Amino acid sequence: MQLLLNFWFIFLALLALGVSVFVHELGHYWAAKKRGLVADRFSIGFGPRLFGWKHNGTDFRISLLPLGGYVSLPQLADMGRVEGGEMHQKELPPISYTDKMIVAVMGAVFNILFAFLISLILWGVGREVIKSTTVGTVAETIINSEGIEVPSPAYQAGIQAGDTILAVDGKPISDWWDYINTLATGVGRSSDGRAEATISLQRGDRTIALTTHPVLISSERMRAIGLLPETDSDGAPLVLKLEKDMPAFQAGLQVGDRLLKLDGEPIVSGAFLKTYLSKNRDRIIAVTIKRNNTEQILPIQPRVKTENGETEPRFGFAYDYDYKVERVHEDPFTQLIGFADTMQRTLYALINQNSDIEVRNMSGPVGIIHGLNVMARRGWVDLIWFVALINVNLALFNLLPIPVLDGGHMLFATISKLLKRPLPIAIMERIQMTFVMLLLFFVVYVSFFDLRRITLPFIPTQDSTQTEAP
């Protein structure tokens, strides 16, 4: 049954990505037909044709390499050999600059329209988010990307539980995800070269600003300072899943139990739990839990397991916190502006030398499919929200003035317009072929890190709202 569910979620992820690519290429195809252009091929994927059909002179196909898609428009740019076919043999009538710009931009327009329709649905049904930006937990230590426990930047700066985050580096914060994203894409640096972020807080009736020096966490090497949001309950993590052959299950731990203490010490974070297990791997630990409003103590002996060449003590359960979530009904325009703002900040961080964001932090097809798979498991609302985000990102990314992308076609058309003559096809083909190879290299590069992030075990940290499994 579980295997069938896995296949089902993967299928949903692939379908969601395929639909997004289809919508983009449909925009080009529709505009081309409306403007009277010849459309040789409509392909989802690149490379050799797997299967398809022909209709009204267009070869609709599914191709071997699932790296996107294209519509072959020889009057816009005859890139037949680049796209996996032959150069168009017939001489076709030229098209106007207006036609070129309209056809090139309509892929992005269709993606935005599709995202808008999804946002209308989300506006109606609402989406659960951690709306509150009030700090629930300030860790004294945090585990960095190398797996080393270091002092928490938030604790060192004097941030306290109960503080409400108003802004990061002067940018107002709307919810907890916005805080995490804004901090991660920050570009602040101190005079000695350390990462720096100014956190504006509401503390009682005072507004204060504290300077922190974020550390890099997890395999993604993202900035974090050691905070978790407030919870609905007593702050105790909730057991979500158990491994039947592991000590926690054998000791009597149950799904739904709340984890209170280890040897009498309150469990304040995932980092605390992981660290405590590491320091006490060779003895029985008294785990205090709450079940049906009654506290009880379970003696559990951690089991040392070897994963990816490393040994770590484990109880064998997964858990998460009861964060204060709200069902929000944002209008479509607010949603789209938020998606675009996230994309803009990410791109800015990529080109800023003071940022810790690198190209390897970006997601290729593998990472996108994995993200869609995760969202599908959470529910259809989170899935379509992620699809809307992908469509906005796809639209904006394709408008960048890079050869092979739509923005590149618009750039070439504009240069030809200014020069008052078409660019030599041989030069355009060389440029396009070069950037096709660069694009393929980029996809392979980011996919390597996508696979690393997916396969590496999750390292519990503060500033994370993911389920952690010790």
**Among 46-55, 109-118, 262-271, 429-438, the least confident range:** 262-271
Task: State mean pLDDT over 23-50.
Answer: 89
Identify the residue with better confidence: 325 or 83.
325
Query: pLDDT, tens digit, for every residue of 173-191?
Result: 999 999 999 999 999 999 9
User: What is the reported pLDDT for 328?
Assistant: 93
Would 129-230+328-362 and 238-320 be classified into the same CATH topology? yes
Task: State mean pLDDT over 236-256.
Answer: 85
* CATH assignment, 238-320: 2.30.42.10
Q: How many helices (H) and strands (E) does the chain have?
A: 12, 22
User: What is the reported pLDDT for 231?
Assistant: 78
* Contact indicator for 166, 207 with CB cutoff of 8 Å: yes
* Contact indicator for 123, 205 with CB cutoff of 8 Å: no
Closest CA to 28 of 88, 114, 101, 118: 101
Q: What are phi and psi of 442, to 5 degrees?
A: -60, -45
Number of Cβ within 10 Å of residue 434's Cβ equals 13
Residue 397 CB partners (closer than 8 Å, separation 6+): 343, 405
Kindly indicate the confidence band of residue 207, based on its pLDDT and cuts at 50, 70 and 90: very high
* Contact indicator for 364, 446 with CB cutoff of 8 Å: yes
The domain defined by 129-230+328-362 carries CATH number 2.30.42.10: yes
User: What is the reported pLDDT for 360?
Assistant: 79
Q: According to DSSP H, which parts of 224-302 are helical?
A: 247-250, 270-279
Distance CA 461, CA 464 (A): 6
* Contact indicator for 210, 158 with CB cutoff of 8 Å: yes
Query: pLDDT, tens digit, for every residue of 343-366?
Result: 999 889 988 999 988 887 788 888
Closest CA to 393 of 450, 452, 345, 353: 345
Task: State mean pLDDT over 128-138.
Answer: 90
Distance CA 184, CA 356 (A): 8
Q: Does residue 85 carry a pLDDT above 60?
A: no
Cα radius of gyration rounded to whole Å, the chain: 26
Identify the residue with better confidence: 89 or 128.
128
* Contact indicator for 75, 38 with CB cutoff of 8 Å: yes
Q: Does residue 202 carry a pLDDT above 90?
A: yes
User: What is the reported pLDDT for 67?
Assistant: 67
Q: Could you give the 3-state DSSP secondary structure of residue 336?
A: helix
- For the chain, the average pLDDT equals 84
Q: Where are the domains of the chain?
A: 2-123+385-455, 129-230+328-362, 238-320
Q: Does residue 79 carry a pLDDT above 80?
A: no
Q: Which amino acid is at 280?
A: N
Query: What proportion of the chain, given as a percentage, has pLDDT over 70?
Result: 89
Secondary structure of 49-66 in the HEC alphabet? EEEEEEECCEEEEEEEEE
What token pair was written down for 308?
Answer: 């990816």
**Among 107-116, 153-162, 217-226, the least confident range:** 217-226
User: What is the reported pLDDT for 177?
Assistant: 92
Query: pLDDT, tens digit, for every residue of 387-435?
Result: 999 999 999 999 999 888 899 989 988 998 999 888 887 788 788 888 8
Q: Does residue 36 carry a pLDDT above 70?
A: yes
Kindly indicate the confidence band of residue 4, based on its pLDDT and cuts at 50, 70 and 90: low
Identify the residue with better confidence: 205 or 445.
205
What token pair was written down for 10?
Answer: 């993967």
User: What is the reported pLDDT for 383?
Assistant: 92
Distance CA 119, CA 126 (A): 10
Q: What is the DSSP letter of 360?
A: G
Identify the residue with better confidence: 463 or 371.
371
Number of Cβ within 10 Å of residue 445's Cβ equals 14
HSE-CB at 339 with a 13 A cutoff on CA atoms is: 26
Closest CA to 405 of 112, 110, 108, 109: 108
Query: What proportion of the chain, given as a percentage, has pLDDT over 90?
Result: 37
Task: State mean pLDDT over 33-45.
Answer: 88
Q: Does residue 120 carry a pLDDT above 80?
A: yes
Query: pLDDT, tens digit, for every residue of 211-224?
Result: 999 999 877 788 99
Q: Does residue 276 carry a pLDDT above 50?
A: yes
